[in-house]
Amino acid sequence: MNTALITGFSGQDGSYLSELLIKKNYRVIGTTRDKNKIKKNFSRAVLKKIIIVEWDLVSLKQLNKILCDYSPDEIYNFASFSSGQKMYEKPEEMMLINGDVVVNILEAIKRNNILTKFCQASSSEMFGVVSEVPQSEVTKFNPQNPYAKAKLYAHNKISYYRDNHGLFACSAILYNHESPRRGTNFVTRKITSQAVKIKLNLQSKLNLGDISARRDWMHSKDAVKALYLMMQSKNPDDYVVASGEDHSVEEFCQAAFSYLDLDYKDYVIQSKSHFRKHDSVSLIGNPSKIRNLGWDTQYNFDEIVKEMVDSDLKKLTG
């Protein structure tokens, strides 16, 4: 039985990966800062199969103890300071969690068990204001915010430890991936949850930023399958994980509202205060390389939107 350590295991990606690995007969160790604040993304049956350990991310002592106690074959890192307005308010914490913690894990692997495999959930935001469309593994990085810069720092350290210390370390350059488990601070869940509230006459308008921005959206379940395949490959490498298709925020609105028999134009308001600084308008990934590992998306754009709307509708209506 293989053992996988998943940081941030109870979030959207960590929870789907936990379920996937349990089905594959893994022993799953999930880390969290506080056992009393685990996100409700699991059934009781699944949660009982996960060994939950507390780790505050900045404690090297705790990290080394976890690695010694459980000797994981694979480590998947989803622990992250997410990209939102707070990244501009707390750039030091952003670099600590998204950058330095990754280095600490890699260094701990080098010292404790060089055979432990590591996979980083990286971000397409590292490309920033893009130099080409679509983006691939060789596209120039041009990060435009603290989140992207911290992710790029970690990304570069992964290749350093791989090339100079022989670690099986890889980075999944993830494009936007969604599901009903996505936090409501992200634009997709903001759209689906508030569209449902509008349908139920619980609110009247939806305020958004630039709805012309285009993104490459896939399902979180598809994204975590890619990370798993990367870890099973013979040689470690970095991969763009994307659907290869782009849709605008406006299209996402149209799909969500029309599914509820509403016209988004009657409810969506663009507000300058919601526009993001230096936001790239054309983040589209080229998934050719990851497809060589046998990966492909199972969910299309409309299916993702409908699943999220149905979930939000169920939460409010029972």
Structure tokens at 182: 């996505």
Is there a contact between 157 and 177 (Cβ–Cβ < 8 Å)?
no
Beta bridge partners of 123: 174
Structure tokens at 318: 């029972």
Active-site residue flag, 147:
yes
The residue type of 193 is S
d(CA 312, CA 45) in angstroms, rounded, equals 23
Q: 235: which DSSP letter?
A: S
d(CA 144, CA 177) in angstroms, rounded, equals 20
* Nearest of 101, 116, 255, 125 to residue 177 by alpha carbon: 125
Active-site residue flag, 239:
no
Residue linked to tokens 């990851």:
290
The single residue of 76, 147, 259, 267 carrying the catalytic annotation is 147
DSSP H or E segment with residue 121 = strand 117-123
The single residue of 19, 125, 178, 251 carrying the catalytic annotation is 125
The residue type of 168 is F
What burial class does residue 31 get, using C-beta atoms within 10 Å of its C-beta: 0-12 exposed, 13-18 middle, 19+ buried?
Answer: buried
Active-site residue flag, 258:
no
DSSP states along 146-159: HHHHHHHHHHHHHH
Q: 77: which DSSP letter?
A: E
213 CB-side CA count, 13 A: 22
The single residue of 18, 83, 122, 123 carrying the catalytic annotation is 123
* Active-site residue set: 123, 125, 147
